Amino acid sequence: MAYELILYKIENGVAYITFNRPKALNALNSDLLNELLKALDEIDGDENIRVLVLTGAGEKAFVAGADISELATFNALQAKKFSEKGHQVIGKLQALSIPVIAAVNGFALGGGSEIALACDFIYASENARFGLPEINLGLIPGFGGTQRLPRLVGKNRAKEMIFTGKMLTAKDALEIGLVNRVVAPETLLEETTKTALVMAAKGKVSLRAAKYAVNKGMDVDLETGCRIEIDAFALTMASADAKEGTTAFLEKRPAQFKGCLNE
Ligand code: CO8
């Protein structure tokens, strides 16, 4: 499918989705959400893609939230449908079996922060700003922010952000563990790609099993989480990559994982 509101490319096993409405600071309207869902379906069905990177076009924004000009026209039922659509797309993003990095290059507000929160981790440029400003519009976050933010940064920090609508700088976001790294704007994609390529060269089964174990384990008690890890570990032992990885170690050579870039 041809995309108009996102840019989509694949390089060296890494897929890149760029939100591409820079004049509206990449705000999310229904058409953009539909395109994003399509692209995620494509990625889900392509076994050669190892990692996904999300970023925003232009220098000002990752995504400045849901498109307020569209939002303002909704009645409660339309708002419910739009929120459900957002949850569907962002749920799909979180459920991808491959690692996903958000490369946040400017404003990540409202739905933009909520997309970043559904990624496996976030790299931010020094000019990144994070916030859930819906309270300033007489609303609350509607794409998962009230749920994912407290799970990542803790209940009280999340409440402060949601109740005040204040934006965090990249430095603040790093301090509370919302982002993993802060880099100069001009190096953001390069640094993100470096990490993406490190992951892309790992065993496919083990990478997926690791993501599955962490994500599933976070939503259950420790004992159940450990059972999930045991089963996922056993699955990796059955893979050709485990055989290759352990053999390569014993033979004192780099592992050549099947289906990986270094194959
Ligand atoms: N929607 C639509 N247009 C936007 C948005 C947005 N979220 N953000 C910016 N724009 C547009 C502006 O209207 C402006 O357009 P124009 O040039 O035609 O006037 C252009 O982008 C540039 O913006 P500014 O001139 O405002 O740029 P500034 O640098 O002065 O300010 C800000 C940048 C601070 C980011 C400012 O634009 C802003 O506050 N934007 C709104 C941020 C916001 O409130 N986001 C949350 C939206 S609500 C949401 O995300 C809820 C998600 C769940 C929804 C569930 C629905 C049911």
The model's pLDDT over 180-230, given as tens digits with 9 standing for 90+, comes to: 999 999 999 999 999 999 999 999 999 999 999 999 999 999 999 999 999
Predicted TM-score of the model (pTM):
0.96
Label the pairing between strands 168-169 and 129-131.
antiparallel
Annotated domain spans of the chain? 6-200, 204-250
Instruction: Output the six-digit token pair for 112.
Output: 């933009």
Mean pLDDT confidence for 7-34: 97
Report residues whose beta carbon is within 6 angstroms of any ligand 1 atom. Answer: 24-25, 27, 64-69, 71, 79, 82-83, 86, 107, 109-111, 133-134, 137, 142-143
Instruction: Output the six-digit token pair for 261.
Output: 């870039």
Instruction: Output the six-digit token pair for 237.
Output: 């032992």
138-196 pLDDT, tens per residue?
999 999 999 999 999 999 999 999 999 999 999 999 999 999 999 999 999 999 999 99
Measure CA 77 to chain center: 28
Catalytic annotation on 190?
no
CA dist 240 and 257 (Å) reads 8
User: Which atom of ligand 1 is nearest to 107's Cα?
Assistant: 35
Q: State residue 259's pLDDT score.
A: 53
233-262 pLDDT, tens per residue?
999 999 999 999 999 999 999 998 875 433
74-125 pLDDT, tens per residue?
999 999 999 999 999 999 999 999 999 999 999 999 999 999 999 999 999 9
Beta strands across the sheet bearing 61-63: 61-63, 107-109, 129-131, 168-169
CA dist 135 and 124 (Å) reads 24
Query: What residue spans of the chain are helical by DSSP H?
Result: 30-44, 68-71, 76-95, 111-117, 145-153, 155-164, 170-175, 188-200, 204-218, 222-237, 240-250
Main-chain dihedrals φ then ψ at residue 82, nearest 5 degrees: -65, -40
- Please tell me the residue having the least CA distance from ligand 1 atom 10: 24
Residues contacting residue 201 through CB under 8 Å, at least 6 positions apart: 257, 260, 261, 262
On the CB side of 35, CA atoms within 13 Å amount to 18
182 forms bridges with which residues in the sheet? 124
Q: Is 80 exceeded by the pLDDT of residue 11?
A: yes
CA dist 52 and 10 (Å) reads 9
Q: Is 50 exceeded by the pLDDT of residue 21?
A: yes
- CATH superfamily to which 6-200 belongs: 2-enoyl-CoA Hydratase; Chain A, domain 1 (3.90.226.10)
Q: State residue 2's pLDDT score.
A: 86
Going by C-alpha positions, the residue among 113, 95, 183, 185 that lies closest to residue 152 is 113
Q: In a 3-state reduction of DSSP, which class is residue 51?
A: strand
Is the distance from CB of 105 to CB of 188 less than 8 angstroms? yes
- Please tell me the residue having the least CA distance from ligand 1 atom 38: 64
- Ligand 1 center to 4 CA (angstroms): 20
Catalytic annotation on 114?
yes
The DSSP line for 84-121 is HHHHHHHHHHHH-SS-EEEEE-SEEETHHHHHHHTSSE
Among 25, 67, 166, 167, which is best to mutate for testing ligand 1, by the most ligand atoms less than 8 A from CB? Answer: 25
CATH topology of domain 204-250: Lyase 2-enoyl-coa Hydratase; Chain  A, domain 2 (1.10.12)
CA dist 131 and 133 (Å) reads 6
The active-site residue out of 42, 59, 84, 114 is 114
33 forms bridges with which residues in the sheet? none
Instruction: Confirm whether 6-200 and 204-250 share one CATH topology.
Output: no
Going by pLDDT thresholds of 50, 70 and 90, the confidence category of residue 263 is very low
